Amino acid sequence: MRYLPAFLLFVFISNAQIKKDQLNLMPWPQKIDISNAVFLLNKDFKVNITGNPNPRIFKAATQFLKRLDQRTGLFFNQGFITKTNEFPEANLQINCLREGKVGITENESYQLAVNTNKITINATTDLGAMHALETLCQLLHNNGTQFYFPSVEINDNPRFAWRGLMIDAARHFQPVDVIKRNLDGMAAMKMNVFHWHLVDDQGWRIEIKKHPKLTELASDGDFYTQEEITNIVKYAADRGIMVIPEIDVPGHASAILTAYPEIGSKIDNQTAYSVSVKSGVHNPTLDPTNPKTYQLLSEIFDEVCPLFPNAYFHIGGDENNGKEWDANPKIQEFKKKNHLKTNHDLQTYFNMKLVPMLKKYGKQVMGWEEIMTQDMSKEAIIHAWRGVNEGMKPGEAVVKAVKNGYKTVLSNGYYIDLMLSVDNHYLNDPMPKNVDFTAEEKARVLGGEATMWSELVTPLTIDSRIWPRTAAIAERLWSNDTVTNLESMHKRLRQISFRLEEIGLTHIRNKEVILRNISNYQDTKALKDFTNICEPYKIYKRNGGGKKYFMYSPLTLFADACNADASDAYEFNKAVNRYLIYKDELSQSEIIYYLKKWITMNDELIVMSKKAPLIQPLLPMAQQLSTIAVELVANIENKKALNKTLIKENLKLLNERNSADVELAIYESLKKLAEL
C-alpha cells in the first residue's frame, strides 16, 4: 500500500468509503467503529501468530488465507501457518494469550483493529481469535478493481454461552460429510455447541461394540463407527465447537427395543418391536422396573461417554406417552410399592438411575423439559422446547426451569424444521421479556439451540433447511438484544448465505439438482421462479401423523426445492405494502414486473409439463396465480375494472390444500391488491 501514489490512494479511498450499515457482518459485533481509511489487500499479505495458543489456530489462519485467496484470486505468497512468530513483519498480527478450552465457560472475546498498514487481533484465547478471523473474512470488500478491508475497531464477545445447533441423524441418517460441512457453517457463525441426536424410533446410529445387535438390527446399515465419531468430535474441537451426544430414553425407543425387546414395557416383553418408518410419537418405552434396562444403558454409556470429552450428556426424556406403562400391571404395582404417583414420578426415578452412570464419566445430565420434576437433580440442564403449539405461553418453559433452580437452554422458537420465517426465529430471545429475574436467575439462561429434526430432510436438502436461517439465530444468541432490525438482518443474510456456500454448504446449489429432476432436465428457470414465491407447508401440515412421507421417501419434490423464506415473495410483499401506503410509481413498477413474470412462468410450466410429469401437480396453482395476475395488471396499467368474482374464486383455490405441499407466500398481498 505504501507504494501506491498519493493521488491514486486518495481516489481509491474515496471510492471505497463505506458506512457501518453497509457492512454485511453476522453475528453483529457488540461494539464497532468505522473510519474512512482502508487496508488494501495484495499478494504479499501475511499472517503472524504470537502467544500460547492451541495449534488449531494455525489451521484456522491457514484456512482464512485460502478463503481470501478463493475470493480475490491474489494467490498469496504465504500458503500455510505452522507455528508462532513465523513472520514478525506480517500485515495481520494475531496474539492469543492462551489455549481455549472448548465448552461454554471459556472466554471467546476478541478485539480487531484494521488500519491502513496493519491488522491486529488480540484475544485471550485462540477461540476468540478464530471468531475474529471469521469477522475479518466478512469485512472483505472491493471497489470494482481491488480488494480491501475497511478500517474498523471491533470489541466483541458473545451474549450467551450456549449457541447451538441440533442435527437429528436418527430419522434420516446424515453422513459424515454432511455433519462436517455444517460444523464449518457453525464455526463461520460463531456457534459453539453441536447437539447430535443419535437414536430414536427410526434408527440407532452409533456403533456399540459390546452390543452389535443395535446397529445390525436397528440402523439399516447407516450408522457412525466409533472411529468416525472420534474424528468428528476432533473436527468440531478444531473449530471451537463442543459436541453433545443424545441417547433418547426412555421413550422414542423402537430402535433399541428392536434389538433388545426384553427391556421393553409391553406386558409380554418378548413381543417383537420394529424400527419405525413413520414420524410422530410412538408407544415403545423402556421398562424402568427391569434391572436389565439399566445394565444395558450402563454398558452403552461406558462406550459412548469416552467418545465425547465434553461435560454434558443429553438423555432426551421427551414425549413418553406412558401408554405401555399404564397397560403393564407389573409396572403399576412397582409405582405403588415405591410411592410413585404419576408416570412423571416414574420417569424421574428412571432418570435419577442414569445420573450416577454418567457422573462416573464427569457428565452432567441434560434433557428435554419433560425431565423437570420435583425430585429431578438440580444439576440437570433443562432443554426448553414447548411453546404455544404445546399449550404454553412464549417463554414459559424457560421461566419455569429458571424459577425451579435449573440451568436451561431454549429451543422453542428455533425449530427450523417447522419451516417458519426467519423473522420468527430472529425475534425470539432466550431471555424472556418482562420477567423479574435476579442476576443469579439470568445466569441460568445459558442460551439457545436451533433444532433440525430430520423427518422431512435428506442429505440432499438438510442444508437448505438449516441455512441461512440458522445464521440469524446465531446472531440472536451472540449479539446485543437491541440488534433487531429486520430489514438490516435480511440485507446481511443475503450476503452471508453466499459466504456459507463458499465454505461448502449446499443450501443454494442443491436446489438446482432437485429442479433438474422435476423438469426432466429442461430449462429450470420457470420452476425456479415458482420456488421463489412458494414455501413448504409449515409446522406439521406437510406430513401430519407421518402418513404421507416415510423414512425411505426420497424427498425430491417441488416442496423440497422451496425454502422457508421465498425471496421474490419477500420483495413483492414489501412492494405491495409500500404501494398501499404511497401509491408510488416505483412500487407499482415492481408489482407489475412480478405479475407479468408469473404470467409468463405459467405459460412456460404448461409447455414443460408435457415432458415432465412431476410438474403436473404445480399447474393448478400456477394457472390460478396467472389468472389473478392478468386481472391485476389490466387494472393497474389500464385502469380496467377487476373481475372480483373471478379473483375471489381463484384466491379461494390458492388457499386450499394442494398436492404440491406448498403455500403461496404472496397470497395475502394478492388479496390486498384485489381489495383496492
Q: How far apart are CA 650 and CA 301, in angstroms?
A: 58
Closest CA to 553 of 464, 455, 663: 455
* Helix ranges, 520-666 (H): 525-531, 558-561, 567-582, 585-609, 619-638, 644-654
> Does the annotation mark 252 as catalytic?
yes
> Does the annotation mark 345 as catalytic?
no
Query: What CA dihedral angle connects 454, 455, 460 and 465, to 10 degrees?
Result: -60
The owner of cell 471510492 is 15
Catalytic residue of the set 156, 200, 535, 663: 200
Q: Are 188 and 503 in contact (CB under 8 A)?
A: yes
Q: Are 181 and 92 in contact (CB under 8 A)?
A: no
Strand partners, 50: 95
Q: How far apart are CA 138 and CA 63, in angstroms?
A: 14
Q: How far apart are CA 545 and CA 542, in angstroms?
A: 10
DSSP 265-324: -SSSTTS-----SS-S-----B-TT-HHHHHHHHHHHHHHGGG--SSEEEEE------HH
Catalytic residue of the set 319, 345, 571, 649: 319
Strand partners, 196: 167, 245
By CB atoms closer than 10 A (0-12, 13-18, 19+), residue 482 is: exposed
Closest CA to 615 of 530, 674, 540: 530
Contacts of 343 (CB under 8 A, 6+ apart): 320, 322, 325, 326
Q: Are 425 and 412 in contact (CB under 8 A)?
A: no
**In which element (H, E) is residue 155 found?**
strand 147-156
> Does the annotation mark 319 as catalytic?
yes
Which CA distances in Å does 489 have to 469, 476, 480, 481? 10, 11, 13, 13
Three-class HEC string of 36-48: EEEEECCCCCCEE
**In which element (H, E) is residue 114 found?**
strand 110-114
Closest CA to 499 of 94, 258, 184, 257: 184
Q: How far apart are CA 396 and CA 398, in angstroms?
A: 5
Catalytic residue of the set 252, 282, 344, 507: 252
Q: Are 96 and 125 in contact (CB under 8 A)?
A: yes
Contacts of 125 (CB under 8 A, 6+ apart): 53, 96, 97, 98, 99, 100, 101, 106, 107, 108
Contacts of 523 (CB under 8 A, 6+ apart): 608
**In which element (H, E) is residue 227 found?**
helix 226-237
Q: How far apart are CA 205 and CA 304, in angstroms?
A: 12
Number of residues that this document lists for the chain: 676
- Torsions phi, psi of 92, nearest 5? -105, 115
Closest CA to 560 of 540, 535, 523: 535
Q: Are 408 and 402 in contact (CB under 8 A)?
A: yes
Q: List residues with catalytic annotation.
A: 200, 252, 319
